């Protein structure tokens, strides 16, 4: 029997953390962070990491598992998340993945069988390269490879190219888990306002000091590539005013939220709930109960 896993996903600032904690408390669960930045120690505010109080309310995994000088990949996430799921279910608890890094979540939840000497990291690196291509570039890749699809979608195109690249050593299998995907979204104006307000709260909580530490000590590491830090580097370098940098941070966060929603809607079969609607929580709890009882 497949292990049941709940995944809460959606754009930044929509309320995933709070919902994940509430589900963990109601359904005897533990949380696995599905965020590529929250793995780094000392980067708490800019990554919107669950606070110590929130982590005390529900056990969290894959937070603070890397130094800022270390790298982290989809391959690392899949390996460590799989181990966390085994440990959580071994304790008789429910794994609840909470995050917005689409490639990581998709790589974990959509199973592949790897045969021969094929390293899973090869597959995930190749997939990440394909994800950077536009639709037209993917179509051109399919034409070059003489691959014909009955209907083009990014998901099918990438799968087809992966299968051709790795041949018989890579075959599609049933997903390794029985998964309930819960997508949180909201009206664009409401979501964007939440993003703007969260940036303001981050600044009040000490974002500038956290970003300055990163700028002074580790300005070139992988962790700086995420939204929340690099936008402030021009201010520290004396190249831009603080208000300009903060506005850029808000704008980049809004654009990132849009890209996240596009990813999930195009690549994963997600049921989305509107965070601001009054019956959303009731509907989500009903869906979780039905999933666990089925």
Helix, strand, coil percentages, rounded to 5, for the chain = 55, 15, 30
Closest CA to 291 of 175, 184, 182: 182
Strands 94-99 and 3-9: parallel
Contact call for residues 78 and 124 (beta carbons, < 8 A): yes
For residue 48, say whether it is annotated as part of any ligand binding site: no
Known binding residue 16? Answer is yes
17 is in an annotated binding site: yes
Q: Does the annotation list 10 as a binding residue?
A: yes
Question: What is the distance between the alpha carbons of residues 208 and 109, in angstroms, rounded to a whole number?
Answer: 36
Helices (H), the chain: 16-26, 52-57, 74-90, 102-109, 120-131, 135-144, 154-166, 188-205, 207-217, 233-236, 242-267, 280-293
- Please compute Rg for the chain using Cα positions: 20
User: Is residue 8 a contact partner of residue 185, using CB atoms and an 8 Å limit?
Assistant: no
Contact 155, 149 (CB under 8 A): no
The DSSP output letter for 119 is -
15 labelled ligand-binding? yes
Binding residues for substrate: 12-17
Binding residues for ATP: 10-17
Binding residues: 10-17
């Amino acid at each position: 029997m497949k292990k049941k896993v709940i995944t809460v996903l959606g754009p930044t600032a929509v309320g995933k953390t709070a919902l994940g904690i509430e589900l963990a408390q109601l359904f005897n669960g533990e949380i696995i962070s599905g965020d590529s930045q929250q793995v780094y120690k000392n980067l708490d505010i800019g990554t919107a990491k669950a606070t110590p109080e929130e982590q005390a309310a529900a056990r969290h995994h894959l937070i603070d598992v890397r130094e800022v000088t270390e790298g982290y990949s989809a391959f690392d996430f899949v390996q460590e998340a799989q181990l966390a799921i085994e440990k959580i279910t071994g304790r008789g608890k429910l794994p609840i993945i909470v995050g917005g890094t689409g490639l990581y979540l998709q790589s974990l939840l959509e199973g592949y069988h790897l045969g021969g000497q094929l390293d899973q990291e090869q597959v995930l690196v190749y997939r990440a390269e394909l994800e950077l291509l536009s639709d037209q570039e993917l179509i051109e890749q399919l034409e070059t490879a003489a691959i014909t699809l009955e209907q083009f979608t990014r998901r099918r195109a990438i799968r087809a190219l992966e299968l051709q690249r790795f041949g018989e050593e890579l075959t599609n299998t049933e997903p390794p888990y029985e998964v309930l995907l819960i997508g949180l979204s909201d009206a664009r104006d409401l979501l964007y306002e939440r993003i703007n307000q969260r940036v303001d709260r981050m600044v009040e909580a000490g974002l500038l000091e956290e970003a300055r530490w990163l700028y002074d000590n580790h300005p070139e590491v992988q962790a700086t590539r995420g939204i929340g830090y690099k936008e402030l580097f021009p201010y520290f370098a004396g190249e831009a005013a603080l208000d300009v940098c903060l506005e850029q941070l808000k704008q980049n966060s809004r654009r990132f939220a849009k890209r996240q929603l596009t990813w999930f809607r195009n690549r994963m079969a997600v049921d989305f709930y509107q965070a601001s609607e009054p019956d959303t929580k009731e509907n989500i709890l009903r869906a979780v109960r039905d999933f666990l009882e089925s």
